[in-house]
Chains A and B, each alone.
Chain A
Amino acid sequence: MVQRDERWLRRRTRGGAKVLGLWRWLVLGSLALGGCAFSDGEPWGEASLRLEVRWWVPQDRQMEGGEVRLANDYALRLDDVAAEVVAVTLEIAAPGGEVSSFDPAAPPPGYSLCHGGHCHADDGRLVDYADIEAELSGGASGLEHLRVPVAQAVQFLGEGRDVALGVCPERCWLERGRVVGVQVELRQLRLQGSLRDLRSGAAQRLDGALMALILEVPLTMQVRFSLDEVVGKGEPQRLHLDLSLRWLPQALDGVEWAAWAEPGSTSMQVDPEHLGYETVGEALAEAWELSAEVRR
């Protein structure tokens, strides 16, 4: 983590102004109404965070009995799903610091044909604008990180679960600059449930009608969301982020589950000991989506 200097702790005083004209009162009043930082000893900004995690199934994938339809014609039922949330981190650019921005009309080297929220990478991947921005921002110098520890295993089947965040360092005070992104760091995903093959006849892939499934993936990954919130003079002091981390079934569409099934068995367990588990792990890692609702 970048070492934070102490400049942001300095107090901003109004000494010397004995007599204030009407216009000064008006300016001060308007700033106060706007909720801007102006009191002695207060920081330029102060962040507060809330994080909710949930397994989110779009309506067009919901089947009777709580099953989820996958695009490769499997029906997945989850009885338990859990992940360890390691930390939530704010990315902060210093005032005046240039953070590379992404222009779809002039994509960076390695990308082309940018439209509809994504670009075609030279290696054939479809990459979201946000991921390219993250890549560019990650390479920019001058980013500081405010990392809030969590280290909590979260079971998030059904309704969204609020995650208890750890103590925010430096009282979550923010120095002048721009909050350009937020990351949630995850580790270790475990799911338990069952699978059913929707194909029949010669196209059927699983022997049994129902296959019990336990999947353990020791992934370590960050899910990022881009922000552009200015902290400084004339801006509201408080920056509250309602973070919603959703795990989506779409990324499981490409997993060929039958490859893991032992002939004649009615259960499968996928863990790092299995050959090729990385494919499943990568798919699961891409299944996360982070969004943030900002309140100032």
Chain B
Amino acid sequence: MQKRGLWILVAVVMGWGGVACDEHDHDHEHAHSLDEHICRHMLEGPALEVVAAVALDESLPDVSQDHTRYDVRIAAPETGAPSGRVAFASGQAGDRVIAVNREVRLVVKDVDGVEVSAEAMTDNGHCEEVVAHHVYPLGVGTYEVGITLDADGLFTEDVWVSVIIEAAAHADH
């Protein structure tokens, strides 16, 4: 009888372990899938070119379309690092991943000009073309996304930054 109880205990522990492994695998697969998804769009497009607003009174180009790589052109500044702004219209509340192809600093502001704090910044483990994923919790509304090249030096030519914005809960791929 004791032996039987021991076997049941072993089975329960193993079963529990199996469930835990499944959940881990699921999370891993989901993260992997999002990485793959973003890489695919970074490599294959579809792509649209926009010119970032630099002056304060300039209207912001829209970068709101899902599953689209936006190649953002930022004018060479007279001094400092190239910096520009684009607009993202969020149609649903939730975390958004802003994926970029080079080292940049992002500043995201809501309609009232309040800066939204990034929840996380992670690497894309699937391809070298994506340098970082910045994750922001957004509501419904239009957000200003400021992009500043994270580099020193003198810039005599315009620079390009490729940007993809996707829902973090983009599971069904």
On A, residues with C-beta under 8 Å from B are: 58, 60-61, 69-73, 113, 115-118, 120, 124, 126, 198-200, 202, 250, 253-254
Contact = CB atoms under 8 A, between A and B. Distances in A.
Nearest to B64: A71
Nearest to A59: B93
Contacts of A58: 92
Given A60-B139, A202-B57, A113 B67 contact: yes
Contact of B89 (A71, A118, A124): A71
A126 B111 contact: no
Given A60-B140, A73-B141, A250 B91 contact: yes
A120 B46 CA distance: 8
A71 B67 contact: no
A198 B89 CA distance: 13
B158 interface: no
A89 B142 CA distance: 39
B4 interface: no
B126 interface: no
B24 interface: no
Contact of A116 (B46, B65, B173): B173
A113 B92 contact: no
Interface of B: 37, 40, 44, 46, 57, 64-67, 89-93, 111-112, 139-142, 170, 172-173
B67 A126 contact: yes
Contacts of B44: 113
Contacts of A120: 46, 67
Contact of B91 (A115, A200, A202, A253): A253
Nearest to A198: B111
29 contacts: A58-B92, A60-B93, A60-B139, A69-B140, A69-B141, A70-B140, A71-B64, A71-B89, A71-B90, A71-B91, A71-B142, A113-B40, A113-B46, A113-B67, A115-B37, A115-B67, A115-B173, A116-B37, A116-B170, A116-B173, A120-B46, A124-B46, A126-B67, A198-B111, A200-B112, A250-B91, A253-B89, A253-B91, A254-B89
A280 to B, nearest CB: 17
Closest 10 CB pairs of A and B: A60-B93, A71-B89, A71-B91, A69-B140, A73-B111, A115-B173, A73-B142, A61-B140, A198-B111, A116-B172
Given A69-B140, A71-B142, A116 B92 contact: no
A61 B67 CA distance: 23
Contacts of A72: 89, 142
Contacts of B172: 116-117
Contact of A71 (B40, B66, B141): B141
B157 to A, nearest CB: 29
Given A69-B141, A115-B173, 15 more contacts: A58-B92, A60-B92, A60-B139, A61-B140, A70-B140, A71-B91, A73-B142, A113-B40, A115-B67, A116-B67, A117-B172, A118-B67, A126-B66, A198-B141, A200-B112
B6 to A, nearest CB: 46
A253 to B, nearest CB: 5
A85 B140 CA distance: 30
A168 to B, nearest CB: 36
